[in-house]
Structure 1
Amino acid sequence: MTANRFDTSVYAHRLRAAAEAASAAGLAGLIITPGYDLRYLVGSRAQTFERLTALVVPVGREPTLVIPRLELASLKESAVHELGLAVKDWVDGQDPYDMVVDALGGDPVATAVTDSMPALHLLPLTERLDDLPVLATEVLRTLRMIKDPAEIEALRKAGAAIDRVHARVPHFLVPGRTEAEVAADIEKAIVAEGHSEAAFIIVGSGPHGADPHHEHSDRELRAGDVVVVDIGGPYEPGYNSDSTRTYSLGEPSAEVAEQYSVLQTAQRVAVEAVRPGVTAEQVDAAARDVLVEAGLGEYFVHRTGHGIGLSVHEEPYIVAGNDLPLRPGMAFSVEPGIYFPGKWGARIEDIVVVTEDGAEALNQRPHELIVVPV
């Protein structure tokens, strides 16, 4: 594996699996424009512009990459050349959409396109396809949900790196500092601990902690605050961390300590429920039932988790109504929370990977309410 991508054999396997999945779905092929699907299949970080770049994965034929000649340099860090893929470059004045149809074999029926394809390219393609394309999401979802060993190792490294950042967070939580100042320190720590960047930083102090998607503000931290810190980012080759811990500036009240203890139990019970064959909604229910029994159910206002990988949020979603059975290799967050509007909030989040007989937690920082002396 290079710093920016996996070994070429990983991508060769994924391309074969994608073509097999397309065939099983009765499709003639896949058309993948820049985005997470393209990065997953060939390690390319090409961007979408007004000129079309598209990986064509036909059933029964070799894949072809259609790309503007002036974008060829974007392939250097990908596995395209080592995979031996055909590259059809084009210049202004040529029709790249016809080139895509030719790469499909000239029989453009039952085609799937990536869900990130912009209308700028989708509409011209539909004019040349015999049938309206479907989304490739259903074809690729299982492949991307089931992480291979290289992906799991990448997620482990990302999880360990964000743990190191959380270990530094108490030093940043000083009364009188603003949430934004704390977030700036955390951003530097995220990069210092090996991430390529910070994808998101939530510092929710006091009443702001009751907003699950609060980011940070100019509110000054105060003694007695409960502070939710939810942070993460991509770690090369681009797999994300995501972990939440909750801190108390000084000893918490008895009520806060008691309610947080229930949340801690809910998170632990949900992680313990993870194993092959259990459904996503059953993991959600495991956390929710603990909170409901303690009279806190109404304060848990979001799903229990989301899948993670190249994207911070991807399938599987750990939510009521999702009867998807868990399978080894699936990676997702387990993050119940409780939120009391105008007062305070708390959340505990680990990334877990489904194993053959349970779950491996990729975050190891303490789950207790972390008391910061003031």
Structure 2
Amino acid sequence: MRIPIILAACGLAFSAVPANAQTAPVWAGAWGYAPADSGAGEPVQPAGTYRYRVRLSQAGNAMQLTFSNAEGDAPLAISQVTVASPIGAAGTEPRGNTVHPIVFGGKPGIALPRGRTAISDPLVLPLTNAQDVIVSVTFSTPTRPGRTNLGMEMAFAPSAPQAAFTPIKARPYLSLVSVRAPAAPCTVVAFGDSITDGYLGLSAQTRGWPGRLAERMAQLPAARRCGVVNMGISGNRVLRAGRAVSALERFWRDVASVPNVTHVVFLEGINDIGGSGSGADAVTPEDLLNGYRQFVARAHALGIKVIGGTITPAFRAGYMSPAKEQVRQAVNAAIRTGKVFDGVVDFEAAVRNPAAPADLRPEFDPGDHLHPNDAGLRAMGDAVNLALLTPRG
């Protein structure tokens, strides 16, 4: 006989839910972190356990985890995964009496060859919107995660007796959390580069402007609420590989694979502009707009709407120039016509300096003149018109 464990206050209730409790279950994305490559100079971690603190953006009665080695440079092996309620409002310490195992085909571990992903068996348990969970992942092999995470609570401990967990800043191998719900009206994938990823946004639980969007969605009635999945990658480009494969290539991996995806909020292109060369190697507005149209065509083929974001100011960033700034402005002008995407979010207007529109507002500029700080990312999340993100039908 299986005895459910019920927690009071903000804990998880890991109790079985009858299979017939819902008639038309819908799986939907509730959290995401797109995989990206780690550089050859990144430090290698020994076999050990990562703890990830994850905030869900959708309620449900079961969860399923996706782990990715899509951009890895060596095969990996997962020996154990667990999910638990956190002890407190911050940190990665799991509440001991809530730990629940995750399995893969009924087994506790699974191999992750290079370029592969693995999806767990469903874990049946009640989940609430905006709930935090601790996902603990033990690898029996060394790992070398990409070091681009700044806005997510996580910790690592080597597989050694009495080894302590210490905070670490790295991309998680957990790439998607999906939940099963009687009704999941819509799921939004936030797609972009470091500004979407949340680089320089240090909020522990609210990662980047998509995290602020998820906070706003959480205040809506359940029938109107979209889950939000952040698939930003620092250094990513639209037209060619940068950090990870190009946006056009990773559409299938990081958008189409998200269950119940109905919308994409797309913000990408500054790395294409800033990172391009001169002459024949220069990226033109039409080059970038053609890339956008290709992305939209892929989405429309699957019935997904794409909301385009204007590119935020970056004139004084190291890789920009007056000519490249003209490209950015021309691309934004085309986006604002409403003819490229299914809707528009004017991110540029939300963070630009009124006195110098090619620059970030001083209070939003952390000093690199490219990445908005937490206040700027919050303003971007507030700039999204929720009326653009409505359930199908």
TM class by smaller structure: under 0.3
Larger relative contact order (CA 8 Å, sep ≥ 6): 2
Bigger proportion of residues as helix: 1
Bigger proportion of residues as strand: 2
- Please report the TM-score for the alignment, with normalisation by the length of structure 2: 0.25
- Please report the TM-score for the alignment, with normalisation by the length of structure 1: 0.26
